[in-house]
Amino acid sequence: MTNIVSRLKSFGWQQFVVITLVALVAVSFDSCKSTGKLTRKEKKAQIEMYKQQMRAIINGTTKMTLEEQDRAISDAINKNFGDDELNQLILQAQQISKRAYADQVKAHEQQVAVARNKLYDLLVNKQNLSADQLEAEMNKIKAENLGDEEINELLGRLEKKISDMRSSNAVEMSLKTKLESSFQSIADAARAGNTSMANSLISSALNYFSAPDVPVLIIISREGSIVDYDKPSTINNYLNFLKDQKESRNNVDSYQMDSAGKIKELDLIKK
C-alpha cells in the first residue's frame, strides 16, 4: 500500500490532470456520436449526398421510384442543414416530383378511360366473341391492376356475362346433343324394324317442342348471310320422315325457345 502511495506521489499532479482531460474529451466525443450529432466532416458528406440525389431527380437520371424520391426530399428537408445550394435543389426537386405525380395521374386516367371503353364493348359483345375470347380480353385488363371502382364493377359484370354464356352454351350443347341423339335413335329403331320403338321415341322427342306443328327449316346451303332452305316442314312430320327414311341426314343448326323452355322453331342443316 505504501509503495502505491509513493508511486502516485512521484507520478505528478500535472500528468494526472492532462490524462484526465484527454479522457473527458474522448468521452465527450463518443457522447456526441451516440446522441446522433454529426462531425463537420460527416455533415459535409451528407449535404453532398443529398445534393447529388436532388440533382439526379432534377435531371431525370435518378433510378429511384417516385415514392423513394419523395422520401429522399423529405429526409433532406428534415435534416435542416441550412445549406443554401441544397435548399434551392430541394425546391427544384419538389417541383419535378410534383409534375411527375401529375403526369402519372393523367396517364392512369387515360388508362382507365381506355379500359372502360373496352369493357363496355366487351359487355355489348359486338364482335360476337366466345366466352373464352371474352375472358382472355378481360384478363388483360385485370392484369393492369388499375384500382378503379368503376373498372372493378364492369369487370364483375363481364365475369357474370361470361359465366352466363358458358351456362347457356352448356344447356344448348346438351339439348342439341339430345335432339340429334333422338333423331338418330328413331332412324336406327326403324331400320331395325322396331316400329313401336320408333313411335315411342317420336313421342318422347316431341316433349322438347311446344307443339307438334312447330316449324322445321332445313338449310341446304349458306354463304355469308345468304341462306337457302329446303321445303318447310313441322317437327311431327320430320320425325315421321326419319322413321320412313330410316336415316338421319341433318344436324341441329339453331332453335328458338318459348317462355316455357320449349322449342318453338327449329333449323336443321345437312350433315
Above 50 in pLDDT, residue 33? no
pTM for the full model? 0.46
3-state secondary structure 184-253: HHHHHHHHCCCHHHHHHHHHHHHCCECCCCCEEEEEEEEECCEEEECCCEEHHHHHHHHHHHCCCCEEEE
The pLDDT of residue 5 is 42
Neighbour tally for 159: CB within 10 Å: 14
Q: At what angle do helices 149-191 and 131-142 cross, to 10 degrees?
A: 160
The mean pLDDT of the chain is 86
The pLDDT of residue 18 is 41
Please tell me the distance from the alpha carbon of residue 90 to that of residue 58, in angstroms, as a whole number. Answer: 9
pLDDT in tens, 183-219: 999 999 999 999 999 999 999 999 999 999 999 999 9
Q: How confident is the model at residue 2 (pLDDT cuts 50, 70, 90)?
A: very low
Please tell me the distance from the alpha carbon of residue 211 to that of residue 234, in angstroms, as a whole number. Answer: 9
Q: Which amino acid is at 234?
A: T
What DSSP character marks residue 264? E
Q: How confident is the model at residue 29 (pLDDT cuts 50, 70, 90)?
A: very low
Q: Rounded to the nearest 5°, which phi and psi values hold at 112?
A: -65, -40
Of 16-20, 64-68, 74-78, 145-149, minimum mean pLDDT range: 16-20
Please tell me the distance from the alpha carbon of residue 39 to that of residue 46, in angstroms, as a whole number. Answer: 11
For 146, the grid coordinates are 388499375
pLDDT in tens, 143-165: 999 999 999 999 999 999 999 88
For 157, the grid coordinates are 359484370
Q: How confident is the model at residue 26 (pLDDT cuts 50, 70, 90)?
A: very low
The pLDDT of residue 36 is 54
Angle at 15 (CA atoms; ends 11, 16), nearest 5 degrees:
85
Provide, rounded to the nearest whole percent, the portion of the chain with pLDDT above 90: 69
Q: Rounded to the nearest 5°, which phi and psi values hold at 270?
A: -65, 140
Please tell me the distance from the alpha carbon of residue 98 to that of residue 101, in angstroms, as a whole number. Answer: 5
Arithmetic mean of pLDDT, 162-180 = 85
Residue 48 host element (H or E): helix 40-59
Domain ranges of the chain: 170-270
